[in-house]
Structure formats: C-alpha cells, structure tokens
C-alpha cells in the first residue's frame, strides 16, 4: 500500500495594491485578495512546463514569462477565468498600457523570491504615471506573460487589449499625482 499526499499542487496567488505618499501608505488604500487566473493563463502555464520537441536542440512551446502589469479604470462585473483583457485599460504614460514588473521604483527591483517556491512580482507607479493627464480611479489590474528578444516584444504595449494571465478587480483607488501606486502579485507553489 502506498500513502499518497500532495497529489494536487495548489498554487496560492495573492494580489495587493496600495497608495503611498512620500513612502507612507495612505490609510484605507490597501486592497488585498485572491485573484483569478484566466484560461489564457492556464494555457500558458501548461505550455511553459514542457518542451515541444526534444532533440539535437530542444524547442519550447512558449518562452513567455511574467513581464508586464496593466491597470484599468473599470472592472468586469463578473470575474471568471474566461476574462481575456482588462475591461478599460488606461495608459501608464499616455502611450503604453503595460508597465514592466521590473522597475527602479519597486523594492526590491524585479521578481523577489520570498522562498524557493514563492515568487513575488512588484511594480510601483510613480507620481506622474497613470495620472499623467489627471486623476484616475483604478479598479482593475492584469498580469501579462511576454518576452523581449532582440528588442522585439511578443505583445503590443501600446494596445489596450493584450490577453491577461491573471486578473484582479477591486474597490476603486484614486490615483492622483500626489500618490504612488504600489502593486504586488505573488505566486506560492
């Protein structure tokens, strides 16, 4: 007889958003909770873990990895895994709808490994980002998998309709040029 344990790997994903002023959290601005991994995200993960062909030189199905975060000023009424894009993406700087998860304002920069099986992505939007043309109420966020090779992206950062791998809707946060917006997305395998 064999004893079976841990037969299903449950990946805990957690989202956190917070406004800050001069580095101090704005009271009442923290949003924390689970989120939804979209069907597109599940398909991406199923392709990521295996080789398409194994031979003289192995070929992957996909080389996309978590690369971008985007936010929107509306949210889907029904949050399900069939969500494909943000409902109403807003630009970060007037042109780009996607911001890298690796930026100098995040602490620490780039992905952080809380433990060997726990990875956290973070992005801090600066005072002038998102609210570059005035105040914006942020109600949704999405995570994107992509690559950059030879300067070329797979997704189109100037397009508001890129497919999200994970999605979170939350009570609105008023992003003005007086605040920074800190987003964190973690996955514990």
Partner 1 sequence: MLFRDDIHVQSNVFLCMRERGKLVPGSTREGHNVFTNTGRNLLSKLIAWKTLGSTDLAFTEKRLRWMGMGSGTQLEVANVSQLNSPVLITPSRYLVEIQSTEHPTSTTARIICIFGVSDITFSQGVVELSEVGAYADVNPADSAGDEDSAAPGFTTALDPSIGTNAPSAYKAFEPINKTADYTIEVRWDFRIV
CB closer to partner 1 out of 21 and 34 = 34
Residues within the interface to partner 1 (CB under 8 A): 2-13, 34-37, 39, 41-43, 45-58, 60-61, 63, 65-67, 78-81, 100-102, 110-111, 113, 116-119, 121, 145, 147-151, 187, 189
Q: Which two tokens stand for residue 159?
A: 């397009």
Q: Of the two residues 24 and 54, which places its CB atom closer to partner 1 in the complex? A: 54
> Shortest distance, CB of residue 32 to partner 1, whole angstroms?
13
CA dist list (Å): 171 to 46, 84, 109? 32, 20, 27
- Determine contact, residues 128/178, Cβ cutoff 8 Å: no
Residue among 36 and 86 whose Cβ is closer to partner 1? 36
Least distance between partner 1 and beta carbon 109 (Å)? 9
From the CB of 173, what's the least distance to partner 1, in Å?
21
| Shortest spacing between CB 26 and partner 1, in angstroms | 26
3-state secondary structure 130-188: CCCCCCEEEEEEEEEEECEECCEECCCCCCCCCCCCEEEEEEEEEECCCCEEEEEEEEE
Q: Which is nearer to partner 1, 19 or 37 (CB)?
A: 37
Smallest separation, CB 82 to partner 1 (Å): 9
Give 147's contacts (C-beta < 8 A, 6+ positions apart). Answer: 63, 64, 65, 67, 153, 154
Q: Based on CB atoms, which residue is closest to partner 1, 74 or 112?
A: 112
Q: How far apart are CA 140 and CA 128, in angstroms?
A: 19
């Amino acid at each position: 007889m064999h004893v079976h344990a841990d037969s299903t790997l449950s990946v805990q994903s957690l989202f956190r958003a917070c406004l800050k002023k001069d580095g101090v959290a704005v009271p009442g601005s923290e949003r924390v909770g689970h989120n939804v991994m979209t069907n597109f995200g599940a398909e991406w993960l199923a392709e990521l873990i295996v080789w398409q062909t194994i031979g003289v030189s192995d070929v992957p199905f996909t080389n996309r990895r978590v690369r971008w975060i985007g936010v929107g000023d509306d949210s889907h009424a029904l949050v399900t895994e069939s969500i494909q894009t943000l409902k109403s993406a807003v630009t970060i700087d007037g042109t780009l709808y996607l911001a890298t998860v690796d930026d100098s304002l995040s602490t620490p920069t780039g992905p952080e490994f809380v433990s060997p099986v726990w990875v956290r992505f973070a992005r801090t939007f600066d005072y002038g980002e998102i609210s570059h043309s005035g105040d914006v109420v942020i109600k949704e966020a999405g995570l994107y998998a992509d690559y950059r090779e030879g300067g070329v992206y797979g997704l189109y950062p100037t397009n508001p309709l890129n497919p999200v791998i994970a999605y979170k809707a939350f009570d609105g946060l008023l992003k003005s040029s007086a605040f920074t917006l800190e987003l964190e997305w973690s996955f514990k395998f």
